[in-house]
Structure 1
C-alpha cells in the first residue's frame, strides 16, 4: 500500500465523492448524489476542512468538520465539529481513521462530538477526549403511522413500508399548546437576514449563525424542507426555532434542528417549543425529534408531550479549555440535521 493523507481539493474530489457514496450507504441515483454532495460540501460556508486518506489513487478514508460559533459562559468561542468520519473496511486495520482524527486534533479549535456510531464512541476515549453528560433526546409521535415508520426504519429498515397499513389520519400524541407569554406575543417566519436572539445561559451554548441558517435553507427539496420561526414579545425577538421537514415512507417527519431562546423565562420557552411543534404538526409531521440540554428546554418539551428517547453521548477535546459545565445544543451539530436515513428508507421502499 502507498498511503498518504491530504486535504480535500478539486483534484481529489472525484475519488472523494466515490468514497462518500459508500460512507452514506447511498441507494439513490448518481445525479441525486451529486446534488446532495454539492450542497453538503461545496455550498456550505462554515467549512472546517475535510481530510482524506489515499491508497495510491483511491480514496479510502475521510473525516470532515464544521467550524462554527458557540458561546462558552457567555464568551464567543469557535468549535470544530467532526462529521462524516469513515474508513473503507479493507483499510481499517491500518488505523487510517484514527490518523485522520489525530490530524484534525492538531488544529487550534476545541472539538465537540455528540452521538455517533459505536466505533466513534469507542475510539474517542482512546484519543483522550473527555466524556460530558449525555444530551437528552426526545420524540413526539404525532401520528401512529409516523411512530411505526420510525421504529421500523430503526429496527427493520427493509420493512418500513409496512407502516403504510396504518391510516395516515390516525392521531397518536398531538402537541400540547402553551399560553402565549403576553398580549404582544407574535410568531413570524424567520428570515436568515435577521440574527437570532442570543441565549444567556451558563456553559457551552450552540448558536445558529447566519451562514449556517442560509446554508440549511438551501437544502435540496428532495431531502427536506426548512421551517424557520421567529418569536417576538412587544416587537423584540426573544426566541427562534429552525426545523427540517423531511419526506419519509410513512409521511412527513420533522427534526427541530435548533431552539435558540434569549429569555430564560419558562413561559417563553414553553411557548416557543409548543408553537414550533404545533407548526410542524400542521405541516403534516407524523413524528418530531428534538435534542436538548438546557433544563428549561427539557421541561418545555415534556410539557408539549415529547417522550424521552435514547440519550446521545457527548465528548469534548481541547488542549487549553476545560470541559464545559453545561451544554445547550440541538441537532445543528455537524450532520445531525441531515435526514439521509429518511431518504434511504424511501429508496428501500421504492425498490421493494
Structure 2
C-alpha cells in the first residue's frame, strides 16, 4: 500500500505507541511506558508536532519536535528542536526517515540539533544543515561506584549492576566550593511561579520558561527526582539551576539539566555551578553530568572539579537565518534530560542479575 504522512492525533495514537514500544525496545513494562508516554506526549506544554509515516495502517516511522523560546544575540526567538526520530528497520532502505526530516525542515521555525547517533551526525550536513560550535561535555565522578556504573552502562549495559560490588562510600572527587558573588547571598528552592532571569549574552542561548519548568518538575518518579534551585544576592535573583537525580542500576546519577544566569560574570557562574553540584552530591549522586557552551560556565565546571569528555556536535537549519556564532545549552534541548538510558540499564540489569539491580 502507498506510504502516507500523518500527524499524531487520537486516531493515530495506537499505531504510534506500538512503534514507540518497538523503538524503545523491551526496556520497561507497559505500565511504565504508559506513564512516560502520558507525561512526555500528552502533558507537555510545547507541542511542536509529531509526524508519522504509515504503510497502510501500520506506523513505520516517526519524528517528534519541541518548539521553545531561545535568545539569539539578546533577541527572543522560537526554535524547533527535533527528537524521537525513528524508522522501522524494514522501511529504512526506502529513506522514510529522511522524508520525515524534510517534512520538519519545511516548518517556519529554525531548527537546532545537538548530539545524535553517528548516522544522524553524518546525514545532517548532507541535508545542508550548518555546523555550530560544539557543546562541552563535563562529568564529576563523586563515587567510585558511580564512575564504574557509567562505564559499564556504555559498554555492557546488562552488567551495570556489577558496580554495586564497589562500596557506595568510596569517594573519588567532591565538588569544590565557590564563594558567593556578593553580600547577603542565599540559595532556596526555585518557586515554579517565578520566571528565570533573562541572560545578558551574545549568540544562541537556551531558556527555561515557567510552563516548561512546571512540566519538567512533574517528571514521573520512575525517571527521577527534580531539583530546582534559585540563587539570590542582596535579594536579587542572579541565577537558577534545574537538575535531575535519577535512579540507575547501581545508585543515583545527577544531571545538571539547565543553568540560567542573569549575567555572564565568572563569580556568579562559579557559585551557581558549585552549589548545584554540592546539592546533588549531598542527595546521593554518585556521578554528575552537565553540558555547557558558555565559556564562563565551562570554566565554572572545571573549577568545581568536573572532568572533560568528547564534545557534543551542534547543527542549525534555517533558510533565512544564518547559523549563530555560538551556542550555550544543556540537557534541556528537546527531551535530552529524560534519562531513558538509565531506565533501560535498570531493566537489563534486573533481567541479568535480579538480586543486584534496583527495581
Using the TM superposition, give the Cα deviation of residue 119 of structure 1 relative to its aligned residue in structure 2, in angstroms. 1.5
Q: How far is the alpha carbon of 1:24 from its aligned partner?
A: 2.0
Task: Find the counterpart in structure 2 of residue 113 from structure 1.
Answer: 113
Please give the secondary structure, in 2, of the residue aligned with 1:275: helix
The yes-or-no answer on 1:310 pairing with 2:310 is: yes
Residue in 2 that maps onto 1:185: 185
- Provide the alpha-carbon RMSD of the alignment: 0.8
* CA distance in structure 1 between the aligned counterparts of 2:165 and 2:32, rounded to whole angstroms: 29
Q: What do residues 252-297 of structure 1 show as CA deviations (whole Å, max 9, x unaligned)?
A: 1011110001122211110000000000000000000000000000
Q: Distance in 2 between matches of 1:165 and 1:234?
A: 47
Provide Cα deviations, 1:50-74, integer angstroms capped at 9, x if missing partner: 0000011110000000000000000
The 1-side partners of 2:75 and 2:306 are apart by 31
Partner residue in 2 for 1:350: 350
Deviation at 1:27, TM superposition (A): 1.8
Note if 1:90 corresponds to 2:90: yes
Query: Which residue does 1:283 correspond to in 2?
Result: 283
In structure 1, what is the Cα distance between the partners aligned to 2:155 and 2:194?
41
State the shift of 1:126 in Å: 1.2
Further displaced range: 125-134 or 20-29: 20-29
Structure 2: unaligned runs, 5 residues or longer? 353-359
What displacement does 1:115 show?
Answer: 0.2
Matched residue SS, 2:50 = strand
* Residues 137 and 290, structure 2, Cα contact 8 Å, conserved in 1: yes
Say which is worse superposed, 118-127 or 214-223, in terms of deviation. Answer: 118-127
Aligned to 2:176: 176
Give the secondary-structure state (helix, strand or coil) at the position aligned to 2:77.
Answer: strand
What does residue 334 of structure 1 align with? 334
How big is the shift at 1:304? 0.1
Matched ranges for 1:241-260 at <5 A: 241-260=241-260
C-alpha displacement of 1:143? 0.5
TM-score between both structures, scaled by the size of structure 2: 0.97
**Segment drifting more, 16-25 vs 167-176:** 16-25
Query: Matched residues in 1 for 2:28 and 2:191: separation?
Result: 32
Measured after TM superposition, the shift of residue 118 of structure 1 is 1.2
Between the aligned partners of 1:27 and 1:199, the Cα distance in structure 2 is 39
| Structure 2 equivalent of residue 153 of structure 1 | 153
CA distance in 2 between partners of 1:112 and 1:120 (Å): 13
The CA deviation at 1:310 is: 1.8
Q: Which residue of 1 aligns with 2:134?
A: 134
Q: Distance in 1 between matches of 2:49 and 2:203?
A: 26
Structure 1 residue 248, shift from structure 2 partner: 0.5
The 2-side partners of 1:138 and 1:313 are apart by 14
Superposed structure 1 runs of 4+ greater than 4 Å apart? none
Give the Cα–Cα distance (whole angstroms) in 2 for the partners of residues 230 and 24 of structure 1.
35
Contact 2:47 2:67 in 1 (8 A): yes
1:174 is paired with a residue of what secondary structure?
coil
- Which blocks of at least 5 consecutive residues in structure 1 are unaligned? none
CA distance in 2, matches of 1:26, 1:112: 30
Match of 1:325, SS state, is: coil
2: CA distance between counterparts of 1:312 and 1:142? Answer: 22
Q: Does the 8 Å contact 2:201/2:263 carry over to 1? A: no
* C-alpha deviation, 1:195, in angstroms: 0.3
SS of residue paired to 1:310: strand
Does the 8 Å contact 2:49/2:65 carry over to 1? yes
Structure 2 distance, partners of 1:70, 1:202, is 12
Mapped partners of 1:192, 1:49: distance in 2: 26
